[in-house]
């Protein structure tokens, strides 16, 4: 069967508008049909709405561990951005290939799909697992059902490569994230009688002060992780809304805050400390009005990723690349979830740069896609032969060699 080029496949993938608030099922169906053409069976893990799905496939012997290639199918919106090209039609301009998701991260998906014929033809001693998720861009939400599915399987991958854009360099670590929303309910009254009300914005301000003070404390005292450009955990309030008019004591206020933690720090400890203040503050508010209160809403969270630079998986993957530099990235991925929830050693490595991700006129270069194709070809070769299975099972990836 004729093999589609990576650029042709990227054009097909970009044509699907998979913004996170939309269904990704048309794209999933396209990938299912594409895999089926090469005799590869896949299974959907559908969400509770029936409108979105993860897709999982195994190429090679399914009764043993292997290497998982993981990527998300959703993209961020283009609304409010000034594009000079149609974001849902691949536009080539010399070396650059423009389109929403070209870098983040349909370029990687296209390279993986382009490599499927070679994967099928190879005499794989250890399999390749393909994992395509939904709703990564809104807090790594969709992959949770895939994690639950894999947890029930008798055989799991021995290693994972998440293909987020790193310019085809290996990233061994990223911070975790915890995002929450606090709803504060006070008591409205005329501002001329302010002491008779409960000012929700004033209460929120005390929580904001705590976040700012804790952020300064982390910057000064750590803990520190020198692998990151910002070496400490950060906290910030990103949004605050409240009040109806200047002459009304505000009854409601809402604030959104996030914690981006170094892998060594537990963000739940910080959240517990904040909520301890909130409980005390709520008691004060209820002394004035019994219906006042503070409610916590968790928005999203994912753990940090932390792999030792001298881990055997790092050595194995780096040996398959042209660039042997190691990265620590400032954005989150599903890799931390695979590592923490399932114990699957995970790295991040994919074509393109996050400097272009989420931007108008997002692009990936032909050179980056070619380097990803070369990496995948070497990976397939490394998983052939009688020693590949043993290396994965025993964790001796360091001894793997390329063809």
- Is 57 within 8 Å of 44 (Cβ atoms)? no
Distance in angstroms (rounded) separating the CA atoms of residues 295 and 285? 13
Work out the end-to-end distance of the chain between its first and last CA atoms, rounded to an integer number of angstroms: 25
What is the rounded CA–CA span in Å between residue 54 and residue 144? 10
Q: Cα separation of 244 and 251, whole Å?
A: 8
The tokens describing 324, both together, are 């042997």
- Classify strands 159-162 and 346-348 as parallel, antiparallel or unpaired: parallel
373 in active site: no
Structure token pair of residue 338: 């695979």
- How far apart, in whole angstroms, are the C-alpha atoms of residue 165 and residue 354? 6
* DSSP SS3 for 308: coil
Do 274 and 309 meet the contact criterion of CB atoms below 8 Å apart?
A: no
Helix, coil or strand: residue 325: coil
Measured CA to CA, the distance from residue 244 to residue 168 in angstroms comes to: 50
Distance in angstroms (rounded) separating the CA atoms of residues 297 and 221: 29
Pick the catalytic residue: 12, 32, 47, 74?
A: 74
12 is annotated as an active-site residue: no
The HSE-up count of residue 363 (CA atoms within 13 Å, CB side) is 16
Contact by Cβ (8 Å): 388, 125? yes
**Tokens 């691949």 found at:** 90
Catalytic position from the list 136, 137, 258, 265: 136
Radius of gyration of the chain (CA): 24
Strands laid side by side in the 363-365 sheet: 91-93, 96-98, 363-365
Q: How far apart are CA 26 and CA 33, in angstroms?
A: 11
Alpha helices in 66-198 (DSSP H): 107-121, 143-151
Q: Give me the active site residues, please.
A: 74, 136
């Amino acid at each position: 069967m004729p093999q589609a080029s990576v650029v042709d496949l990227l054009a097909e993938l970009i044509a699907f508008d998979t913004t996170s608030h939309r269904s990704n099922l048309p794209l999933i169906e396209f990938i299912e049909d594409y895999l089926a053409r090469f005799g590869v069976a896949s299974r959907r893990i559908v969400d509770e709405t029936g409108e979105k799905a993860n897709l999982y496939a195994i190429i090679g012997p399914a009764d043993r561990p292997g290497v998982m290639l993981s990527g998300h199918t959703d993209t961020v919106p283009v609304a409010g951005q000034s594009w000079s090209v149609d974001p849902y039609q691949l536009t080539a301009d010399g070396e650059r290939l423009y389109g929403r998701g070209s870098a983040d991260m349909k370029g990687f998906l296209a390279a993986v799909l382009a490599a499927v014929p070679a994967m099928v033809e190879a005499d794989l001693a250890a399999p390749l697992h393909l994992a395509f998720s939904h709703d990564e861009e809104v807090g790594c939400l969709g992959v949770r059902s895939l994690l639950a599915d894999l947890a029930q399987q008798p055989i799991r991958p021995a290693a994972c490569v998440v293909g987020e854009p790193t310019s085809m360099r290996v990233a061994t670590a990223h911070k975790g994230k915890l995002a929450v929303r606090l709803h504060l309910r006070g008591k409205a009254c005329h501002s001329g009688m302010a002491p008779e009300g409960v000012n929700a914005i004033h209460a929120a301000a005390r929580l904001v002060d705590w976040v700012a003070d804790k952020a300064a404390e982390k910057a000064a005292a750590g803990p520190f992780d020198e692998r990151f450009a910002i070496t400490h955990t950060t906290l910030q309030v990103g949004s605050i809304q409240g009040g109806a008019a200047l002459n009304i004591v505000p009854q409601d206020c809402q604030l959104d805050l996030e914690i981006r933690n170094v892998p060594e720090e537990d963000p739940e400890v910080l959240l517990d400390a904040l909520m301890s203040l909130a409980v005390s503050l709520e008691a004060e508010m209820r002394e004035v009005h019994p219906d006042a209160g503070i409610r916590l809403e968790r928005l999203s969270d994912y753990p940090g990723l932390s792999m030792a630079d001298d881990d055997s998986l790092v050595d194995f993957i780096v040996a398959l690349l042209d660039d042997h530099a190691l990265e620590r990235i400032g954005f989150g991925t599903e890799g931390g979830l695979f590592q923490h929830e399932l114990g699957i050693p995970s790295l991040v490595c994919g074509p393109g740069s996050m400097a272009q991700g989420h931007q108008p006129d997002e692009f990936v270069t032909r050179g980056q896609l070619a380097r990803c194709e070369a990496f995948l070809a070497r990976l397939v070769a490394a998983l052939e032969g009688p020693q590949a299975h043993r290396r994965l099972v025993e964790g001796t990836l360091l001894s793997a060699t390329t063809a």
